[in-house]
Structures are given as C-alpha cells and as structure tokens.
C-alpha cells in the first residue's frame, strides 16, 4: 500500500507515537489551524480523526478512528488499511518529533548516554537530528511486540523471526536526553 504519511488529529497523540514507533511518518500537533491542515493534506497525507464531520468532508482524504483507547484505535486502523509495518522500519523515527533517526557520532553519543549503554551499544546508537534525543537497542522492542500481540494486532501473527533482535536497525524507546520531555 502506498503510504504518504498520516496526520493524527488533536485527540490522537498516543496513536501518533505508536505509529511512529512502527515506522510510519505521522504528523501530530495538539492544535491545527485550517492553514496547517490544508498544507499537510496537500502533502498527500491521510487524516486520522475522531471527529465524524471532519472525516466526512468530501475534499479530504480522511479516516474516522473509533475507540477511546489507543489499542482499539490502532487495531481498527491496522485492519482498515491492512497495515503490515516491516519490522526493519520499527523505531526508525523519533517518537517525539517524527524525524528519521540517524546514526549517532560516537563522540557526541558518549557524552549523551550513560556509560554502560554506550559500551554495550557502541555501533547502534541513533540520534534524532531535530531534537537531539539518542536511542539505542534494548529490551523495548520485545516489550512492544508483546503489547501488540496482547492487543491482537493483525500483523503480529507469529513469533519474531530469528535474527531481528539486536540488529543495527532496532533501536529502543529507552532514550536519554539532556532536554526535558515536553
């Protein structure tokens, strides 16, 4: 499926974080002006919204999201769009600002992350070029898979294939940053 990214409406902040964790380009802001929204829609993004009226406006590519809990929202969306997020794309984006992560420079990373983390993950530390947060491999990936399995996500139907754990592409939500979380 071609995916040019999502716009998560103002009530869907948690869903936006999960979609980013799964590798989807997901724009989110707590409030949108009509100009913001039109600019984002012109990028070809699909609007995800809890508001029936916004979803039904005929000039928009939009999808009505059901359920108040993120588990219902994500499960419904995955079924509706047949989402199959490739595990290689998981954790490729900053959860807070949606930017694609880059490999961190070792010098910078050694100052920003705890010493034991640096030594255990020396070649797998990634950084968000926008907000400066560092991410590294850890136990979060399997915890996330467990959670998705518990929620019954349709694309989690088997145990993870061998060799995906701990590869250079898997990074974690166990982040460290000198900046406060907003």
The residues that touch Zn ion, with contacts defined as CB under 5 A, are 94, 96-97, 128, 130-131
Residue 131 or 173 with smaller CB distance to Zn ion: 131
Q: In angstroms, give the least distance from the CB of 50 to Zn ion.
A: 25
Q: In angstroms, give the least distance from the CB of 128 to Zn ion.
A: 3
Beta bridge pairs of residue 63: 48
Residue 65 or 138 with smaller CB distance to Zn ion: 138
Q: In angstroms, give the least distance from the CB of 22 to Zn ion.
A: 16
Residue 79 or 105 with smaller CB distance to Zn ion: 105
Nearest partner of 137 among 167, 100, 104, judged by Cα: 167
């Amino acid at each position: 499926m071609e995916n040019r990214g999502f716009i998560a409406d103002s009530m869907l902040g948690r869903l936006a974080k999960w979609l980013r964790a799964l590798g989807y380009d997901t724009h989110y802001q707590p409030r949108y002006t009509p100009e913001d929204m039109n600019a984002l829609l012109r990028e070809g993004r699909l609007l995800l919204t809890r508001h029936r009226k916004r979803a039904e406006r005929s000039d928009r590519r939009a999808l009505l999201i059901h359920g108040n809990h993120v588990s219902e929202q994500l499960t419904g969306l995955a079924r509706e769009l047949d989402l199959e997020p490739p595990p290689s794309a998981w954790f490729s984006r900053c959860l807070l600002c949606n930017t694609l992560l880059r490999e961190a420079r070792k010098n910078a990373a050694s100052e920003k992350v705890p010493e034991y983390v640096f030594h255990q993950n020396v070649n797998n530390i990634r950084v968000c070029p926008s907000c400066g947060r560092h991410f590294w491999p850890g136990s979060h990936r399997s915890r996330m898979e467990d959670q998705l399995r518990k929620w019954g996500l349709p694309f989690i139907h088997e145990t993870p294939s061998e060799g995906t754990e701990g590869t250079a592409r898997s990074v974690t939500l166990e982040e460290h940053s000198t900046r406060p979380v907003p």
